[in-house]
Structure 1
Amino acid sequence: MLRRVPLIAALGASLALLGLGGVSPALAATTPSPDDVTWGVRTGDSAQGSGRQNYDLSVAPGGRIDDAIIISNYDEKALEVDLYAADGFTNASGELDAAPRAEASEAVGVWVTFNEPHISVPAGQAVSVPFSVAVPADVTPGDYAGAVLTTLTRDAATQGITVDRRLGIRMHLRVTGDLAPALAIEGLQVDYAGTPNPFGTGIATVTYTLRNTGNVRLSAEQSIVLTGPLGAFTAAAPALASAPEVLPGETWQVAQQVEGVVPAFALFTTATITPRLAPELLPPGSSPELADVTAQRVSPAVPWSLLVLVLLIAAVVVLVVWLTRRRRSTARAAEEARVQAAVDEALAIERERATLKA
């Protein structure tokens, strides 16, 4: 059953949801200009709470809860809106996004249902639309994400296309039961790029995949340290931004450059993450510590420019030695030839004298 609510309150909340008044929990497929905004959404007041920015719900397997979304029409004519829910995912910007309507959902997008999936909102008014969240009894405990969405489809005849605009509110749903927060580092790779300066340092590019192997959404603090053999020549990455919240089963790609890396032939890399629970999931006044997760890799860091310089120096030394020995050998051969010529000349004179005496 639809319920009308004061439009003034809904207007202020919807402006915030559209991102015009700060950071917003709302989801939109497009970013409308202020002149193009015709409707807005906010959470309804229910047994689950009031004045909420998004839906943070908890339900047991096989359980059901009821909630509501308020839709405000800022236009001068009635607004026809479809309502539906979709599963959520972490997008490339690290924010929670909702799957397209054409993409089949498996969790939140299926568990959320509306008594009236299509409504008409009178001009300048707001209505509260109830919906229910029914979780199957065989669902695995843990965190699930999605969004409650409203969509307005309009034909853009001048461009010959159909524009599907949607506006909604994020939903974080926890299915109660045994929780197992866990993150893993996978595919740690290190690529070293040297420098033409034979006595300079290079840059190492560290990449890895952060995977949520548990059933609770987690963010993570990160650090990367590189050393040479025996712990020498330590180089640490600058302060890394915390990884965004990663949903169970999802991954987040990390790539970080580390400067000032000494090419000591072998490069020992250690990546460390510290999992963090979402603040709203923690009991009041608590801050449980989750064990650090580390991954290590040994990779080559060959000082090619230094090796080339050493080889050039060695080649020059070898050439100098060879030329010196050759010059000495030539000089020795010339001296031996001169001595031999003198001996031969002396013998010839002696033979000539002996012949004259005879």
Structure 2
Amino acid sequence: MYPSVTRWKTTPAALLRTTALSLLAVVAAVGVGAGPARAADGNVAWTVRTASNSYGEARSSYSYNVNPGGAVEDAMVVANRGPAPLTLSVYAADGFTTDAGQLDLLTKDKKSVAIGAWVKANASSVVIQPGKTAQVPFKVSIPDNATPGDYVGGILTALTQPDQAEGINVDRRLGIRIKLRVGGELKPNLAIEDLHVKYAGTANPFSKGDATVTFKVHNVGNAALSGQQTMTVSGPFGLLKVRAEDIAALPELLPGESWDMTVPVHGVAPTISLATTATLTPLLTDASGSTTPLKPVEVTAHGWALPWTLALALVVLIAALVGAYLYRRRNQAQRKAREDARVRDAVEQALRGPEPQAS
């Protein structure tokens, strides 16, 4: 479950109606606890929670295991905490991992191809009187040709209201996460891609510097996975190895998603050549919440660790050697030219013979 967040985006249709920006406020609430999910915005006057039934009581979210062609039926409970009747639209949407590593749900204008397409509420809207609750049944229908693996999305309630003071339309959403595992062969797999290491030394060629390791974690399997990571940087033959500390946590990635990582490694010796090794242990979480570590993935890449002062000295030395070599070649060429001219003059003198003596 994820805490309530508010997101805003421009809606082009409103720009045609008014000169003010039209914003879409999204309260994608999938509450932390088992109680009802509440929006962070005090203007949202309703809450949502899972219904108590054969799937469980006081669930924090929905979780199903269904084979292709199968279906399940469940319900969401919506409560009106405000003083006026509420008419809320109800729909489902696919989930995705944001740049902040949190689950978010597609807005209604974006096309969903999985959870958002397979989950249908019994009605597209619900009317709730003040202080009352309403149960919203929905059905999850899995296509016969659905690919086995994990899918994440959510079922949402939404209310669009005009904000006269700001001249905008505000669309607030409140929903609950749905995690679905379609039956079939599960192939959990994370890959490390585009591993690179860069070194930044100091003015002292013998002082330690910092390395920056960048890479991409790609979920190339069909299961939602998080992971534990370790990172080492060493010199030739594994000498002077340094382990990275405080590596940022990898969020749970849905199948097909990727995550860019940047890991600083401090105290790296300038050993000319560096080897960085990234080790990633995928973590698979089942429906009960139990986490299982999988076979680690390990990738090694190489880079240079040449202090800039030493590099400058080497450049100067190489330039001096090249200059000396070229100067020597030039002198040799000049001496050879002078010698060739002397020999040529001598040959010409010999061919002309001795000059006649005066009588």
- Into which bin does the TM-score normalised by the smaller protein fall? 0.7 to 0.9
Match of 2:122 among 115, 122, 128: 115
Aligned to 1:104: 111
**C-alpha distance 166-282 of structure 1, shift in aligned 2 (>3 A):** closer
Secondary structure of the corresponding residue to residue 221 of structure 1: strand
Matched, 1:304 2:308: yes
Name which of 227, 238, 251 aligns with 2:234.
227
**Match of residue 100, structure 2, among 89, 93, 96:** 93
Structure 1 residue 218 corresponds to structure 2 residue 225 = yes
SS of residue in 2 equivalent to 1:266 = strand
Note the C-alpha offset of 1:280. Answer: 3.4
In 2, Cα distance between equivalents of 1:302 and 1:116: 66
The equivalent residue for 2:279 is 272
Normalised to the residue count of structure 2, the TM-score between the two structures is: 0.76
The answer to whether the 8 A contact 1:26-1:168 is kept is no
Report the AA paired with residue 102 of structure 2.
E
Aligned residues: 292
After superposition, what is the alpha-carbon deviation per residue over 1:90-142, rounded to whole angstroms, capped at 9, x for unaligned?
Answer: 11121211111110000000000011111110111111110000010000110
Counterpart selection for 1:140 from 140, 147, 153 = 147
Q: Deviations over 1:149-202 (max 9, x none)?
A: 000000112212111100000110010111111110011111211112322111
Would the aligned equivalents of 2:284 and 2:293 in 1 still touch at CA under 8 Å?
A: no
* 1:166-245 equivalence runs, <5 A: 166-245=173-252
User: How far apart, in 2, do the equivalents of 1:18 and 1:51 lie?
Assistant: 14
For 1:313-341, what per-residue CA distance to the aligned partner results, in whole angstroms no more than 9, with x for missing partners?
A: 999xxxxxxxxxxxxxxxxxxxxxxxxxx
| 1:290 corresponds to 2:294 | yes
| Partner residue, 1:351 | none
Match of 2:15 in 1: none
- State whether structure 2 residue 79 is matched by structure 1 residue 77: no
**Secondary structure in structure 2 of the residue aligned to 1:305:** helix
Counterparts of 1:341-352 in structure 2, within 5 Å, are none
Percent identity between matched residues is 41
**Residue pair 1:78, 1:122 contacting (<8 A) in 2 also:** yes
TM-score in terms of structure 1 length: 0.76
Distance 2:170 2:55 in 1: 34
- Tell me the CA shift for residue 46 of structure 1: 2.5
Q: Is the 8 A contact 1:18 1:24 kept in 2?
A: no
Aligned amino acid, residue 304 of structure 1: W
1:215 positional shift: 0.7
Q: Is the 8 A contact 2:285 2:292 kept in 1?
A: no
Task: Indicate if the aligned counterparts of 2:35 and 2:58 stay in contact, CA closer than 8 A.
Answer: no
Q: Secondary structure at the match of 1:272?
A: strand
Does the residue aligned with 1:127 lie in a helix, a strand or coil? strand
1:225-271 per-residue CA deviation (whole Å, 9 max, x = no partner) reads 01001111211100424311111111111111111111111110100
CA distance in 2, matches of 1:53, 1:146: 14
- Cα distance in 1 for partners of 2:311, 2:65 equals 62
